[in-house]
Structure 1
Amino acid sequence: MSQTLCPYLSFGTNTAEAMTFYQSVFGGVMMSNTFGEFGTEGPDGALVMHAQLETDAGFTLMGADTPSFMERKPQGGFVVSLSGDEAEALKGYWEKLSDGATVTTPLEKQMWGDEYGSLTDKFGVEWLINVASSS
């Protein structure tokens, strides 16, 4: 038996665009279903009911649009954090996530010895990246 803990992001109507962007950042395989595939008609039928990205690094990221018959609950009160000692990979994620983002803290060496940065990406998701020092 296994278990997984992963972020499930709520988007207005741009989940397909956001999840495609995250796939370009992290790689991996994405699956997606629309509300229309489960019987919803009209404009809401084209919206993403569930998208899931599984990466080779073991990350899972999920997301969904908000159709007109549901209340939109925007992101808030949490941040997606990436950390580890694989500096090249983490810095690569930072560079890609930075495209169109608002950088809160530049990715640079901090007083605790690690490289750390934070940003809000172009879809409104907040990210923290911490690259553990090798010493």
Structure 2
Amino acid sequence: MSVNAVTHLNFRGDARAALTFYRSVFGGDMNVVTYKDAGNVQDPSEADQVMWGQVSADSGLRLMAYDVPSNLPWDRGENAFFVSVRGDSAAEITEYWGKLAEGATVRQPLGPAQWAPLYGMLRDRYGVTWVLDVVSEYNG
């Protein structure tokens, strides 16, 4: 038996743009089902918004997202979660960082840290906080 945890991001009308952006960063495939596709339109102005979407990258990274309907409460929040991307290649992490950093607020520049060869934190243009690092052996 196998279980996978997948980050599920909630937006208010930006899910498709965010998934498209994350696909441009991480590559892979993007699948989107709109409220109209699923026959679940509650508000005609939201028919083409994302009811379920996912980016699946060849590296194994998976991100899901949807647009919270206007009849439900939604708050972007400040520190409700971080998306952590860990890799064993500095080149790969640096490439992801460069793409995510476009239009982002950098909270901790990508660089060496006591616990990792590379570590950085940023809040992207969609308000999602990302932590990227290169995995290193723990010597505690």
TM over 0.5: yes
Q: Distance in 1 between matches of 2:115 and 2:57?
A: 29
**Is the counterpart of residue 98 in structure 1 residue 101 in structure 2?**
yes
**Is the counterpart of residue 82 in structure 1 residue 85 in structure 2?**
yes
User: 2:31 touches 2:54 (CA, 8 Å); kept in 1?
Assistant: yes
**In the TM superposition, what is the alpha-carbon distance from 1:54 to its structure 2 partner?**
0.7
**In the TM superposition, what is the alpha-carbon distance from 1:73 to its structure 2 partner?**
4.2
| Structure 1 unmatched ranges of 5 or more | none
Runs of 4+ aligned residues of structure 1 deviating over 3 Å after TM superposition are none
User: 2:15 touches 2:66 (CA, 8 Å); kept in 1?
Assistant: yes
- Residue 2 of structure 2 is matched in structure 1 by 2
**In the TM superposition, what is the alpha-carbon distance from 1:116 to its structure 2 partner?**
0.8
Counterpart pick for 2:132 among 106, 129, 132: 129
Tell me the TM-score normalized by structure 2.
0.88
Q: How does 1:112-123 map to 2 (within 5 A)?
A: 112-123=115-126
| Structure 2 unmatched ranges of 5 or more | none
Tell me the TM-score normalized by structure 1.
0.91
One-letter identity of the residue aligned with 2:111:
E
**Is the counterpart of residue 50 in structure 1 residue 52 in structure 2?**
yes
Q: Deviations over 1:1-59 (max 9, x none)?
A: 43211100001101110000000000000110111112215112111101011110001
Aligned residue pairs, count? 134
**In the TM superposition, what is the alpha-carbon distance from 1:70 to its structure 2 partner?**
2.0
